């Protein structure tokens, strides 16, 4: 093939420009003239050991990867050869890779990192179930498209992956090996769990801004991958939830059987963590530690208070209706009584007896307001003498409460500011209206009775709420004691004290819980003792035994490192 810069055609594709070059391939942006689609073409460079078998194997892998169709996997369109070099055509995405983002020191939010890992776990699970293993999961092969991600380079990794380590050690670098799994470094056959290890290394770096395995010397780097665990995430990113840290630790387990068996299992664990983060965000501000006794007392008292307020509202509404109905019945009867006994004086226009009756009723406080008018609606007797002889004007009415032919009941406001219930009834003589009676009863008495009832209920509710809250607080303190004992025992167990037992004997559920704890610790202690008896003595001269056999070149490098350490 001509110089990478001077290439104008690859197969039927019209090359527009060179967009990238790695140790093993060139990447071009090109146009498919048949359908007018912009594509990316990756052309493998000429390398030693590339024979017909290699090319045939590469083609089979590309064909397998080309069958993948997943929203988080870059689609492969075509495969071919140009000047004897294999190439594959895939969808063109002019997007940044995760490597670009990490190298720019951009801090990714925790939810973004977990969402990214969740999408990659689903993509890998989809590929693994179809027999395709990526073998080169790394930040450079993860493209960021808004909130989504796409995994690229399926179909190339497996074909070149088997010789990656040897080529790297020989000086032909096909890509950084820092994301390889221990079994891949050792030259073992790999399965989907190898990709999950690589994803764990990517996730570790995204969370901590540090690489899980990092050394300029390739042999030392291989040794790290096979023998050493990365620094705990909490040391670099203490805000990362414990559950997420546990997921990454499991992904980076040296032995495949200790990792998640499938991408689907990993996705399920990530979904739980993402849901927990969303719940914590919703409860932000309510996540401060509050003692159980305070929570229980506050919640029980609050519920009772709310229930009491509801009951008080219902009772107040019902009682208000009953009191007003009784008052309306009494006022209606009194207004009709006055109207009946005022009929003859009004008909004879004998106003003196009526005025004396009104003055006597006012002096006895029998009524708060009373007006008698004639058939011309002129006031002839009134508790307000200044109205006599003037046309009657109804005080400002704030609401009509009862309307019927006999008596209308309204709520009105007098000129002196008092609110009264006004009973308006006609004065009849042989069913002919000869005048009207306007009798008023002050609302202050009804309001006072209702308010007194409301205050009594409020005091009862307050007393009941305080009583229930106090009892709940005491009950929670009673529960908190065994919980504290269990928490301290668990803390001692976490610190390595296998001899600690909970000696508190209780004849309840907590007693059964303590017995279960003691039995579990006893089993753990026996297991640790058996493990110690079976463990081989440690050597102070040799490094830890590697988990996997290594290739001859790596073994030679590691041997030199060990001999240097001895000297």
HEC states along 400-415? EEECCCCCEEEEEECC
Q: Which two three-digit tokens encode residue 328?
A: 């309306």
Work out the average pLDDT over 255-272: 94
Residues 99 and 87 occupy one common structural domain:
no
Residues 321 and 272 occupy one common structural domain:
no
Residues 258 and 163 occupy one common structural domain:
yes
Burial class for 190, CB neighbours closer than 10 Å (0-12, 13-18, 19+):
buried
* Alpha carbon distance 147, 125 (integer Å): 20
41: three-class secondary structure by DSSP: strand
For the domain that residue 366 is a member of, what is the CATH number?
3.30.450.20
Q: What confidence category does residue 49 fall into, taking pLDDT thresholds of 50, 70 and 90?
A: low
- Predicted local distance difference test score (pLDDT) of residue 70: 93
| Domain endpoint, select from 421, 450, 479 | 450
Positions annotated as catalytic residues are 136
DSSP string, 418-480: -EEEEEEEEEEETTEEEEEEEEEEETHHHHHHHHHHHHHHHHHHHHHHHHHHHHHHHHHHHHH
| Domain endpoint, select from 450, 473, 507 | 450
Which segments within 213-360 are labelled E, that is strand? Answer: none
Q: Is residue 486 part of a domain?
A: no
Please write down the long-range contacts of 407-415, taking CB distance under 8 Å and 24 or more positions apart: 407/332, 407/335, 407/336, 409/328, 409/331, 409/332, 411/443, 412/440, 414/369, 414/440
Taking only the tens place, the pLDDT of each residue in 520-549 is: 988 888 887 777 666 544 443 434 444 455
Residues 73 and 209 occupy one common structural domain:
no
Residues 308 and 275 occupy one common structural domain:
no
Alpha helices (H) in 252-291, listed in sequence order: 263-282
Query: What backbone phi and psi angles, to 5 degrees, belong to 239?
Result: -80, -10
Work out the average pLDDT over 462-470: 87
Q: Is residue 16 part of a domain?
A: yes
Residues 246 and 140 occupy one common structural domain:
yes
For the domain that residue 267 is a member of, what is the CATH number?
1.10.510.10
Residues 420 and 364 occupy one common structural domain:
yes
Taking only the tens place, the pLDDT of each residue in 433-454 is: 999 999 999 988 888 888 888 8
Residues 121 and 159 occupy one common structural domain:
yes
Work out the average pLDDT over 278-306: 73
Q: How many domains does the chain have?
A: 3
Q: Is residue 18 part of a domain?
A: yes
Residues 309 and 425 occupy one common structural domain:
yes
Residues 38 and 101 occupy one common structural domain:
no
Q: Is residue 547 part of a domain?
A: no
Nearest to 435 by CA among 511, 388, 483, 373: 373
| Domain endpoint, select from 429, 450, 471 | 450
Asked whether residue 57 carries a pLDDT value surpassing 60, the answer given is: yes
385: three-class secondary structure by DSSP: helix
State CA 151 to chain mean position distance. Answer: 27
* Alpha carbon distance 561, 553 (integer Å): 13
Residues 260 and 351 occupy one common structural domain:
no
Torsion (CA) 101, 106, 107, 112 in degrees, nearest 10: -40
Q: Is residue 537 part of a domain?
A: no
Residues 371 and 317 occupy one common structural domain:
yes
State CA 13 to chain mean position distance. Answer: 48
Q: Is residue 494 part of a domain?
A: no
- Predicted local distance difference test score (pLDDT) of residue 166: 40
For the domain that residue 44 is a member of, what is the CATH number?
3.30.200.20
Q: Count H helices, E strands: the chain? A: 16, 14
Q: Is residue 392 part of a domain?
A: yes
Q: Which two three-digit tokens encode residue 337?
A: 């009584």
Find the domain containing 46 and state its range. Answer: 1-92
Q: Kindly report which listed range (226-230, 292-296, 299-303, 423-427) carries the lowest average pLDDT score.
A: 292-296
Q: Is residue 463 part of a domain?
A: no
Taking only the tens place, the pLDDT of each residue in 381-395 is: 999 989 999 999 888
């Amino acid at each position: 093939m001509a110089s990478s810069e001077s290439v104008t055609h690859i197969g039927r594709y019209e090359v527009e420009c060179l967009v990238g070059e790695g140790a093993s391939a060139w990447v071009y942006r090109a146009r498919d003239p048949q359908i007018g689609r912009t594509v990316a073409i990756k052309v493998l460079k000429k390398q030693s050991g590339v024979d017909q078998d290699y090319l045939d194997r590469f083609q089979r892998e590309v064909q397998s990867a080309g069958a993948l169709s997943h929203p988080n996997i870059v689609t492969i369109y075509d495969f071919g050869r140009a000047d004897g070099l294999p190439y594959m055509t895939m969808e063109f995405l002019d997007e940044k890779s995760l490597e670009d983002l990490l190298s720019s020191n951009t801090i990714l939010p925790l939810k973004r990192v977990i969402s990214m890992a969740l999408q990659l776990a689903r993509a890998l699970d989809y590929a693994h179930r179809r027999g395709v293993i990526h073998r080169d999961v790394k930040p450079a092969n993860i493209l960021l498209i808004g909130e989504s991600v796409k995994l690229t380079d399926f179909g190339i990794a497996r074909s070149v992956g088997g010789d990656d380590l040897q080529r790297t050690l020989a000086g032909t670098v096909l890509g950084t090996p820092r994301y390889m799994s221990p079994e891949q470094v050792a030259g073992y056959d790999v399965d989907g769990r190898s990709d999950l290890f690589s994803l764990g290394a990517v996730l570790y770096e995204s969370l901590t801004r540090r690489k899980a395995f990092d050394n300029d010397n390739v042999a030392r780097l291989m040794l790290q991958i096979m023998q050493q665990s990365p620094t705990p995430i909490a040391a670099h990113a203490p805000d990362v939830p414990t559950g997420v840290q546990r997921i990454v630790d499991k992904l980076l387990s040296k032995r495949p059987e200790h990792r998640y068996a499938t991408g689907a299992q990993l996705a399920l664990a990530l979904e739980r963590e993402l849901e927990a983060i969303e719940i914590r965000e919703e409860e932000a501000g309510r996540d401060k530690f509050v003692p159980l006794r305070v929570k229980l007392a506050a919640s029980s008292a609050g519920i009772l208070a709310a229930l009491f307020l509801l009951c008080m509202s219902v009772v107040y509404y019902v009682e208000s209706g009953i009191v007003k109905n009784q008052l309306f019945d009494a006022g209606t009867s009194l207004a009709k009584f006055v109207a009946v006994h005022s009929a003859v004086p009004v008909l004879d226009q004998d106003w003196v007896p009526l005025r004396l009756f009104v003055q006597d009723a006012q002096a006895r406080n029998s009524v708060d307001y009373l007006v008698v008018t004639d058939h011309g609606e002129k006031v002839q007797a009134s508790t307000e003498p200044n109205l006599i002889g003037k046309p009657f004007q109804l005080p400002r009415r704030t609401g009509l409460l009862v309307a019927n032919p006999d008596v209308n009941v309204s709520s009105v406001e007098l000129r002196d500011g008092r609110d009264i219930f006004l009973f308006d009834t006609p004065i009849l003589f042989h069913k002919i209206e000869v005048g009207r009676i306007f009798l008023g009863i002050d609302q202050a008495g009804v309001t006072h009775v209702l308010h007194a009832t409301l205050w009594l209920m409020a005091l009862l509710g307050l007393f009941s709420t305080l009583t229930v809250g106090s009892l709940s607080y005491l009950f929670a303190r009673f529960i908190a004691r065994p919980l504290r004992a269990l928490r301290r025992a668990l803390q001692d167990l976490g610190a390595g004290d296998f001899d600690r037992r909970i000696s508190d004997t209780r004849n309840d559920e907590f007693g059964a819980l303590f017995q279960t704890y003691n039995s579990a610790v006893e089993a753990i202690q026996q297991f640790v003792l058996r493990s110690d008896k079976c463990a081989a003595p440690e050597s102070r001269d040799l490094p830890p035994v590697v988990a996997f056999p290594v290739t001859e070149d790596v073994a030679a490098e590691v041997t030199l490192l060990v001999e240097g350490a001895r000297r």
